[in-house]
Amino acid sequence: MMNIERKPFGKTARGEAVTLFEIRTPELTARILDYGATVQALLVPDKNGKPVDVVLGHDTIEGYETHDGYLGACIGRNGNRIAGAAFTLNGQRFHLTANEGKNQLHGGLCGFDKKLWNYNCRENSVEFTTVLADGEEGYPGRLDVSITFTLTDDNALRIDYRAVSSADTVANFTNHAYFNLNGQGSGDVLGHLLQLNASAYTPADAATLPTGEIAPVDGTCMDFRTAKPIGQDIHDAALAPFRGYDTNLCLDGQGLRKIGQAEGDQTGIVMEVETTLEGVQLYTGNFISDRAGKNGARYASYSGFCLETQHYPDAINQPAFPSPVLRQGEALHETTVYRFCVRK
C-alpha cells in the first residue's frame, strides 16, 4: 500500500512547480520537497505520544529561496568547504565557483539545494534523481545522482546517496536538516544532550577551513564521547570565532554503525544517528538570522543543530584526510539513518 501523498508547494521564482511528498508510517511523518531534496518537516511522537515537528523549515517555497542556511536541503556535489575554490586531481587544476569569499561552500552557487529534482515514489520512500553536467560549478565529470528517503518500520528516516560519474571527480553529499527535538520554534537547543562516538576532530582556522591536522578530542570542548548538554562548552574560547560549534568530528569505526545520539530535554525524544561516512559536521545554527519559521515560529541562533554526515571538509586538498574522490564508473553508495524513540 502506498503511504505517500503528493501536494503542491507553490512555484519557484523561475515558475517551476514544487511538490511536497508526505510519507507516513504509524509513528512518523516526513514531508520532503523536490526542491533541493529538502526535509521540510519530520513529525515524531514525544513522551506523551504527541506528534512533534523536529526540523526547522519554511511554510512556502519563497522562504527557502530567499533565506540562507540550507534548511533541510541535500548538499552536493561537495558538502562543506573547499579552500580557494580549487583543487588538483590527476595532475589537472580545477577552478570552482566561489560562493563564500574565495572559497566554495556546499557545492557552489547552484548546488543540490537549488535544484528541482526528478522523483519516483515507492511504498515508504521517495527517490530523487538529477544529473550534474561535466564542468558544472567547475567540477569534472557528468554526475548521475540518486537520493532516496525512506521511513522504516523501526521509526527511522533513512537517506541513501548514490552516484556514478563519467570522470574522476569529488563527491561528498550530506543533508542539512536542523534538528530541535523539543519541537521547531520551541527555543534554543543548548539544553539537548548530545553524545558522539568521535575520538578526534579536524581543527579549523577562522574561515572554518581545516588546518590539515587530525587532533584528539581529549580535554577539549569537542569531546562528546560522554553525553553532555550542547551548550555546556559553547562559549569555550576555541569556539569564539564561530560563535559555537561548526566542527568536523572524526567518527570512530567503519561501515554503517551508530555514531551517537541526541535527546530533547523537554520532550524526551531521542534521535540515534547511524552512517557509513567517516565524519560529521556538528553545527549549532550559530548564524541563523532572525527569521520567520513554520507555523508562526521565529528562528534565531541556536534554534537547531545539524549533524551533517560527510567526508572531511576540504579533503581533496588535504592529503592526510580520507579521499572524497569518486573514480570514473565507480558506484557511490553512502547511507545515513536518523532513528527516533522516547525516554519516558
Which DSSP string do the residues of 177-225 spell out, in sequence order?
Answer: PPB-TT-TTS--STT-EEEE-EEEE--B-TTS-B-S--EE-TTSTT--S
258 pLDDT higher than 80: yes
pLDDT tier for residue 2 given thresholds of 50, 70 and 90: low
Q: How many CA atoms lie within 13 A of 192 on its CB side?
A: 30
CATH of the domain spanning 4-342: 2.70.98.10
Of the pLDDT bands very low, low, confident and very high (cuts 50, 70, 90), residue 324 is: very high
- Residue range 77-91: average pLDDT? 98
- Which positions ≥6 away from 104 have C-beta within 8 Å? 78, 81, 82, 85, 96, 97, 98, 137, 138
148: confidence class by pLDDT, cuts 50, 70, 90 = very high
SS3 267: coil
pLDDT at residue 226 tops 60: yes
**Percent of the chain scored above 70 by pLDDT?**
99
Task: Please say if 127 is a catalytic residue.
Answer: no
Q: Please give the Cα distance from 210 to 207 (Å, whole number).
A: 9
For residue 334, indicate whether it is catalytic.
Answer: no
| Active-site hit among 58, 106, 176, 192 | 176
Task: Go through the chain and tell me how many residues it has.
Answer: 344
- What does the DSSP 8-state code read for residue 124? S
User: Does 16 score more than 90 pLDDT?
Assistant: yes
**Per-chain mean pLDDT for the chain:** 97
For residue 151, the Cα-to-chain-centroid distance in whole angstroms is 17
Q: Single out the catalytic residue among 272, 308, 311, 334.
A: 308
